[in-house]
Structure 1
């Protein structure tokens, strides 16, 4: 097979093709094999002369004759034979494969279609110059398996493609392929593979781009036209300024599903914030309200840490929260160091929260994790209350603590133990005395450091007081001398 370099043809056989191909087509109506043989003789001459245009015409003419004759097995045979010809031109094979791909919709039945697909996959296997065509054929085969209900086979077939390495495929098509691979993995419950594949997509591709002026758009258009003129046959066409909103929403929808599956609430919140930064979502009030709600819900569900606390306060400052006042009010309560009684919160917000698909008071068949999220929200409120109590109390009795938290003794001990383990709060439980201490016990080094700092401050104050006293004494001495000078001397009698 040729190495793919484009040579100047030794001889132009286009005039011979104009004469021989119509004759072969007429002959094929009576005997298709004789018609094919007539074209094959011309194909050999043009191939040896590196006449790409004529060779491509011959290959396309042969497969077209087979298709029009309805002999699909002969078509498959010719595709395989023509691609294996010695010194066959790569671009001619590519053109033939593209034409045969167009015949797939005209196949009489599914069995014939699968045989043609298999022949094309055999021809394109391991050949970089037809990698895009192979990917598209594989996608068609995967869709057939998916329609038949064989999700596992569809997933295995499509996921064998490493489309991110295809240099001749556009970025948009690569992204569509990977998104479809991830979707099939999710349907196949292969969550690990779905996560690995999703990381092949760079989120910078979805970054919101500033709007361009008409002058900039005209300049970009001219640059693309210039690149298209100078592009070689093996290079992909220049990327167009395309709207990728549909890809962005599909990508983050998959990321949200993956994060929800692993209960990574903070990640879900971040993904919804990316969805929020989309023009189409901002301009749609219904979508905007739904996304704003979910941003608030999932940041509240996320376990407390520095990152979660920072994100929660930033979300609270979003002016768009005025469009969802009830959810914004719940969010604000988490930013204030005050107790939130769960029975009161449930009474005020329970019905509203459960009206969404995020929360449910009962185990819902549609989303079994909705009830789990409702319980997690209760846990976050209790944890918030423990942090508030730890801020205001150094020591508190167990009965009073359970009263403030609306929990039993066992639940109270469990929550405090969990928060201590996570190093969210410092606490020590004295069971015999039934007292909880939130005061951090300091080590000898810390006590000595504090004492040293205190003594340093005290000595500094004493030195300053000493200076002030000396100053006052000096000022008093000076004022006494001045007053004595001003008094008149008494005359002698």
Structure 2
């Protein structure tokens, strides 16, 4: 659909074609301002006549001539002036901005070569000019999103070289009161590494690309992933989770989006581990495993398989974890990591595991993994999972057991044993009642009768009672008859 809503009154195509060689010659002769004035004069006529094609041609012609003459100050001013003219045609502005954005890579290359070290950063200046032009304009939302990615990347690069902390001379003294005039002041320039990173993340989070219909799926997904990555760098994991829900996971399964899929699930693993959600991390690694790039590389595949099995074992026991554990055990492909597979087998089998034996058999291999390299926290989590497994096994075989015997089977102190057992009871993983005076644990729950069973028992009791009443009545009648008979015989005699 065209952005030009006004009806065209006149066609200026001939005049534009006639003017183009004239102004190009003037620009070559060093009379750039005269060429700009001539183009501006005709542009006003084409704009008022709603000739979109001619207006767009003149806007791109003017900015191109200024660019070719390397007058970057005039370029920035003309871009702003042309975009703000009264009744300016939207499609013409879109084409002008698209033309200007093609010069950014050239300026970026010049900047990387050190051309702007002693003067203005022309690349940054043009990016900010174009962002000011695109601000608040729906028809320029796509160029604005792309410019924002460039500016955020610039601030991220600065964060790597910026100081960690601001010096006392650069830090403004906080005022006791804040007035409305202070609120209107522009934000101070970022100084520290954290400041630059915050600016980059804020720039990206201000753009809601999920609502953009003009952006293709891949670019939109990459933009959201960049938002999530920057938020993860500054530790805002809540926004990372919000961003993850904007990603279309069906699109990630397509063949041409495998690289994006790996980046996405890498962030998902980091997010899951922030809250020790090991089952989510396991699910994310299973999605990574289901990627051709990973399966084609034996080393990558082995690493992913090991992580899958470690995280499913570290996850707390519930129906979902148990189901996933048994499904993974049934998958023969996991036998490519034999020692990790044997550990999974230990958790599937309903047999007791001695922690000392587990530590001796699997400790050297597991401690080489980055998962356990961070410290003792996850190693203690594994110990907890072994203990919890043992209690579930004991509860399935024993109806009653002494507390002392349970401590021996678990290799734990009395306090640790009771604490672990209480946690499983409160989580409703097992049923148990502790008789402390006797030191006995009862694993067998009293089965509560339902309403039907109670009614059946009551009906049976009533039948028994009526039977007894009937039998008693019969015996009384019999005794009465015998008494009458014996009495009659005595009278006759």
Aligned-partner Cα distance in 2 for 1:414–1:120? 63
Q: Give the C-alpha shift of residue 314 in structure 1.
A: 0.7
1:120 to 124, 130, 150: 130
Q: Secondary structure at the match of 1:399?
A: helix
Which residue is equivalent to 2:372? Answer: 359
- The CA distance in 1 between the partners of 2:399 and 2:95, in whole Å, is 80
1:315 aligns with: 328
Work out the CA distance in 2 between the residues paired with 1:312 and 1:451. Answer: 43
Instruction: Please list every run of 5 or more consecutive structure 2 residues that lacks an aligned counterpart in the other structure.
Output: 108-114, 160-195, 461-493
Q: Does 1:424 pair with 2:429?
A: yes
Aligned-residue Cα RMSD (Å) equals 2.5
Match of 2:441 in 1: 436
State whether residues 142 and 214 of structure 2, in contact with CA within 8 Å, keep that contact through their aligned partners in structure 1. yes
- State the Cα distance separating 1:5 from its structure 2 match: 3.5
1:178-208 deviation per Cα after TM superposition (whole angstroms, max 9, x unaligned): 0000000000111111111121112111135
Q: Which residue of 1 aligns with 2:104?
A: 104
Residue 199 of structure 1: which of 242, 245, 248 is its match? 245
d(CA) in 2 for partners of 1:30 and 1:377?
A: 77
> Among 289, 294, 300, which residue is 1:276 paired with?
289
* CA-to-aligned-CA distance 1:42-81 (integer Å, 9 cap, x gap): 2222223333332222111211222233322221111111
Q: TM-score, normalised by structure 2?
A: 0.79
Q: Describe the SS at the equivalent of 1:436.
A: strand
**Which residue among 300, 306, 319 is the counterpart of 1:287?**
300
Q: For 2:416 and 2:332, how far apart are their aligned partners in 1?
A: 38
Cα deviation, residue 165, structure 1: 0.6
Segments of structure 1 that go 5 or more residues without pairing to the other structure are 209-241, 361-367, 456-493
User: Residues 352 and 450 (structure 1 numbering): CA distance in 2 closer, same or farther, change over 3 Å?
Assistant: farther
Q: Secondary structure at the match of 2:256?
A: coil
Map of 1:464 onto structure 2: none
- 1:50 equivalent in structure 2: 50
Q: Secondary structure at the match of 2:350?
A: coil
Q: Tell me if the contact between 1:3 and 1:90 (Cα under 8 Å) persists in the aligned partners.
A: no
- Is the counterpart of residue 85 in structure 1 residue 85 in structure 2? yes
Q: Secondary structure at the match of 1:359?
A: helix
Task: Give the corresponding residue for 2:187.
Answer: none
Cα distance in structure 2, aligned partners of 1:164 and 1:382: 46
Please report the TM-score for the alignment, with normalisation by the length of structure 1. Answer: 0.79
* Cα distance in structure 1, aligned partners of 2:452 and 2:427: 25
Describe the SS at the equivalent of 2:441: strand
Query: Is residue 2:387 matched to residue 1:374?
Result: no
Residues 248 and 116 of structure 1, relative CA distance in 2, 3 Å threshold: same
Find out whether 1:139 has 2:149 as its counterpart.
yes
CA distance 1:428–1:200, shift in 2 (3 Å): same
Does the 8 Å contact 2:4/2:52 carry over to 1? Answer: no
Q: Which moved more, 1:80-89 or 1:33-42?
A: 80-89
CA displacement, residues 412-454 of structure 1 (integer Å, 9 cap, x when unaligned)? 111111111111111112222122111213346589569959x
| In 2: Cα distance, 1:189 partner to 1:16 partner | 58
User: Given the alignment, which residue of 287, 303, 306 partners 2:316?
Assistant: 303
- Going from structure 1 to structure 2, the CA distance change for 1:391 and 1:452 (only over 3 Å counts) comes to farther
Equivalent residue pairs, number: 414
